[in-house]
Amino acid sequence: MVSILAFIALIGVLITAHEAGHFIVAKLSGVKVEVFSIGFGRPIVKLKRGETEYRIAWLPLGGYVRMLGDPASGDPMSPGSAHVAEADRGRSLMAKPPLVRMAIYAAGPAMNLILPFLILVPVFALSDRYDQVTSSTIGALDEALPAWKAGLREGDVVEAINGEAISTFWQVARFIDTYSEGDGPLRMDVRRGDAPVHLEVTPERVEQTHRLVNFTRSYFRIGYQPMFQAADVAVARPDGPLAAAGVRTFDRVLTVDGKPTPRYIDAQQALAAVAAGAEVDVQVERDAPLDPRLPFLAKRVTHTLRYRGDGAAADLRHAGPCISSVAPDSAAGEVLRPGDCILSIDGVPHTLGAFVQNRLGRRPEEPKTLEILRDGERLTVTLAPRKVTLQDPMAGEIQQWQLGLVLLARPDGFLPLDSVENPARWGHAWAETTQRVGLEIEMLVDSLTGMFTGRVSPTQLSGPITIFRLAGEYARAGMDVFLRFLILLSLSIGLINLLPVPVLDGGQILVAFTELIIRRPLPAKVQDVLLRVGVVLVLTLIVFALGNDLVREWRIQSAD
């Protein structure tokens, strides 16, 4: 029952929004709308109001608005007629100028692209979840990236960027997300303790590859995270004071000389403050495997060690870029070991695990040259990814490039920053929405172009059966997940309908644009051929998608 209700709500909202776009612009343009239908085929329910008949039809594969005099603006299963009575001739769609028709055709996809904003902006702005948001305090920094190089340090509080007062992380992120080449450095006013600091930071462009969908995007970053790293340490020198005290890579330093060290920077500073020759107790937490055959099952054991200072903490690193496990018979298994710490990738150094992971995943098919630290020795190795084929009940056969390594794996490896009151709820809502919608559109465009170029298999295309299944699953997962699915589908419908295929809105826009250029209507025979070709293409696409759905359902049932 949940799946049925979720599917009805999903399809109802998406189709109604799309067709409402056509309907509203058509009425505003003086075009007579004969039918407004949700679904194709024979109507289940119909109601006549004024000159328009409103329907809910039996086949939930779309909808249509039938406008006077346009056989293409109707049900592909039963196209309308181009005949127009003399009394209504001025209200025919085809009597309108090409620009007006282009606006009417574009209004449906435009409504689907606008719908995510109509849903998400109020959700973000009105939800109690966003009363408090992450502050503008600088968390962990990568020492190879612009923020650190410009002089930002962990614990700094950003108070203004380019003269605009800010107090939250999302405001900092907005400046970075909207940055463009040639904008010049971001002028940051920072408070460090009680002292004001003025810095200039120039974001760098970087690529990121999403492995599951093989999608690569570029964006700007300055190289910090809105959270502090826990004090998980790596021993850089086997002959240094940490190793002499018995500290091991992946230990978490809890206290130094009785003082808590919740953050890595706290442990770093506390150990550096121990005078040469002085001895203090260092309490560490260490994972102890419960069974040597199952190293991933461990309990945490606390040890108190005696640390003798040497006046510096040069043999201390954060364990984030260190390898906690290596899969046997993998690419990593040939050249890497647990406990190795990655210092650089293809000559680019990194000190934060998240940025190491990002660079490892960039251009996943290419070999990577790694500089690693192993037992205090610097080594250079080549990590060549392997292409593997995976079977997924939903997606079918998936090919991925795999490395076979896991960096520091502790779910509690970060400490949250302080929260502050959200100073601009609607501004935050708009920033979050544009960021999410922009990313989804990028991924969808990449997938569509990938299908035309052969990079993405057409078997990934889904139809109503899969949508029905996912609607139920996402509805049971919660409103947030369901809304994300609705938004993804809305954007998909908007973009697909803009494709220059006859019957689809993009095809009609192309026809009207052609008429605008040649300054005369296309011959009726040409339009009729285009209409028939479009109907065949759309029906073929529907049948193909249904076939994919059935194969997918068979795989899911077989897996169960």
pLDDT of 89? 66
327 by DSSP, 3-state: which?
A: coil
CA dist., res. 261 & res. 250, Å (int): 15
pLDDT of 271? 92
* Sheet with 368-374: strands ordered across: 348-349, 341-345, 368-374, 377-383
Provide the pairing of β-strand 52-67 with 157-161: unpaired
pLDDT of 296? 61
Which distant-in-sequence residues (6+ apart) come within 8 Å of 354 by Cβ?
Answer: 225, 320
Q: Which two tokens stand for residue 439?
A: 């990313």
pLDDT of 524? 80
Q: Which of 19, 34, 154, 432 is catalytic?
A: 19
CA 100 to chain centre: 36
pLDDT of 228? 93
* DSSP letters for 358-425: HHHHSSTTS-EEEEEEETTEEEEEEE--EEEEEEETTTEEEEEEE--EEE---TT-EEEPPEEE-S-H
- Half-sphere exposure of residue 296: CA atoms within 13 angstroms, side-chain side: 6
Determine the straight-line distance between the first and last CA of the chain, rounded to whole angstroms. 21
Per-residue pLDDT of the chain (560 residues; tens, 9 = 90+): 788 889 888 988 999 999 999 999 999 999 999 999 998 888 899 899 988 999 998 887 778 899 887 765 555 545 444 555 665 667 888 888 999 999 999 999 999 999 999 999 999 898 888 899 999 999 999 999 999 999 999 999 999 999 999 999 999 999 999 999 889 999 999 999 999 999 999 999 988 777 655 677 788 999 999 899 999 999 988 888 999 999 999 999 999 999 999 999 999 999 989 988 899 999 999 987 776 666 666 778 899 999 998 876 668 899 999 999 898 888 898 999 999 999 999 999 999 999 999 899 888 888 999 999 998 899 999 999 988 877 666 666 677 788 889 998 787 889 887 899 999 999 999 999 998 998 889 888 888 887 777 777 777 778 888 888 888 889 999 888 899 999 999 999 999 999 888 888 998 899 889 888 888 888 888 878 888 888 888 888 888 888 888 888 787 777 66
Q: Which two tokens stand for residue 186?
A: 């971001």
Question: Residue 327 pairs with which residues in a beta bridge?
Answer: none
What own/partner pairs with CB < 8 Å and gap ≥ 24 does 361-370 have?
361/208, 361/209, 361/211, 362/206, 362/207, 362/208, 362/209, 362/216, 363/207, 363/209, 363/216, 364/209, 364/211, 364/400, 364/401, 365/401, 369/345, 370/335, 370/336, 370/342, 370/343, 370/344, 370/345
Please tell me the CATH code under which domain 233-318 is placed.
Answer: 2.30.42.10
Which residue, among 48, 45, 26, has the nearest Cα to 35 in the 3D structure?
A: 48
Q: Which two tokens stand for residue 147?
A: 């923020």
Say what the pTM is.
0.80
CA dist., res. 273 & res. 309, Å (int): 8
In the residue annotation, 19 being an active-site residue is answered as yes
Which amino acid, 265?
I
Q: Are 114 and 24 in contact (CB under 8 A)?
A: no
Q: Where are the domains of the chain?
A: 2-124+484-559, 233-318
Which residue, among 390, 388, 409, has the nearest Cα to 398 in the 3D structure?
A: 390
